[in-house]
A and B are shown apart, each in its own frame.
Chain A
Amino acid sequence: DVKVTQSSRYLVKRTGEKVFLECVQDMDHENMFWYRQDPGLGLRLIYFSYDVKMKEKGDIPEGYSVSREKKERFSLILESASTNQTSMYLCASRPQGGGSPLHFGNGTRLTVT
Chain B
Amino acid sequence: QQQVKQSPQSLIVQKGGISIINCAYENTAFDYFPWYQQFPGKGPALLIAIRPDVSEKKEGRFTISFNKSAKQFSLHIMDSQPGDSATYFCAASIGAGSYQLTFGKGTKLSVIP
Contact = CB atoms under 8 A, between A and B. Distances in A.
Interface of A: 4, 31, 33, 40-45, 48, 50, 56, 58, 90, 92, 96-107
Contacts of B96: 98-100
B95 interface: yes
Contact of A92 (B43, B49, B100, B105): B43
B103 A101 contact: no
Contact of B99 (A42, A56, A101): A56
Given A42-B106, A43-B89, A90 B43 contact: yes
Q: Is the interface of B mostly helix, strand, loop or mixed?
A: loop
Contacts, number: 54
Interface of B: 6, 9, 32, 34, 36, 41-46, 49, 89, 95-97, 99-101, 103-106
A92 B34 CA distance: 15
